[in-house]
Copies of this chain bind each other. A is one copy, B any other.
């Protein structure tokens, strides 16, 4: 597959390197509004520099990877779908459910492969929880418990345009709830606080959140989030049911530790998202390749995107109004 890379910022550069290491993909063109960014990726991949329009029009490109800023995602998805390209798009697709629907409609009309970059689905630990649930190894699922804490908060300037903590960060966890629990979410209750950085509060957002999801079949999901865990990336999932429990715990930085008369002393957690999630990013592209080439359901397709966006918007409404919100209130 010949991939046109749209967007050469931090995440675009990451994907350029990953694509080069994934058998079956060649970067066939790179584009970015910032010429230096595009030039650097062009140099490291050997792929020609193009404009976005040239990528979309190029017969040498059959697949696009959309890594631009969030506000451009929908228009690019629509254009790429019309151009008949297979589409990989970074999350979130959009901060507006109407816009999400516009993009998904274009994808469905064109019948092109489409996958959104919910990379955590491909983390071996998280995937092992889903596998255990789907195989019945935890029996009937009763409670899903997710903890997701970033090592450091984003700059307040980013927060202001991020769509808020639920759409920007917790959306990964809403996706995990959908990925692991077969039954859809029907109700959301969220509480949040500004505990990490007052500037995040001044930017109109929260930095600490607890969310409760009620699924149609009665399964309960509880999620707690923070923008700053000083000890590193803290990402855990636990699926509890009638037959037992399946857990995705934190990996350690390395397996060295020591013990003295006072304490047993080990490492904190990995701090950098690439250190923590490198394997998930690598496997994400393998999954995308298998899907584009082999067909079948998208590893994280239109249903996942729409559902997560609606839950995130419901969480925001719940927080603002101080009440449980049904997902179908969102539309």
Residues of A within 8 A of B (CB): 123-129, 132, 137-140, 142-143, 145, 147, 149, 189, 191-196, 208-210, 212, 214, 218-220, 222, 224, 226, 228-231, 234, 240, 242-269, 279, 322-324
Contacts and interface: CB of A to CB of B under 8 A. Distances in A.
Main secondary structure of the interface of A (DSSP, over half): mixed
17 contacts: A124-B256, A137-B258, A191-B212, A193-B218, A193-B219, A224-B240, A243-B261, A244-B260, A250-B255, A251-B254, A251-B255, A257-B264, A261-B268, A262-B268, A263-B265, A263-B266, A265-B265
B265 A269 contact: no
Contact of A230 (B191, B195, B244, B252): B244
B267 A263 contact: yes
A96 B27 CA distance: 49
A271 B195 CA distance: 38
**Most B CB atoms within 10 A — which of A132, A149, A208, A245?**
A245
Contact of A143 (B126, B210, B253, B256): B210
A299 to B, nearest CB: 18
A253 B212 contact: no
Nearest to A258: B246
Contacts of A262: 268
The 10 closest A-B CB pairs, nearest first, are: A128-B256, A124-B254, A125-B256, A244-B260, A246-B258, A249-B255, A193-B218, A264-B266, A230-B261, A231-B259
Interface-central residue, A234, A252, A257, by most chain B CB under 10 Å:
A257
A128 B142 CA distance: 29
B129 A256 contact: yes
Contact of A214 (B191, B219, B257, B263): B191
A273 to B, nearest CB: 16
A321 to B, nearest CB: 11
A250 B257 CA distance: 11
A324 to B, nearest CB: 6
Report which residue of A127, A128, A219, A322 has the largest number of chain B beta carbons within 10 angstroms of its beta carbon. A128
A265 to B, nearest CB: 5
B258 A268 contact: no
Contacts of A242: 195-196, 228, 230
Contacts of A129: 256
Contacts of A263: 265-268
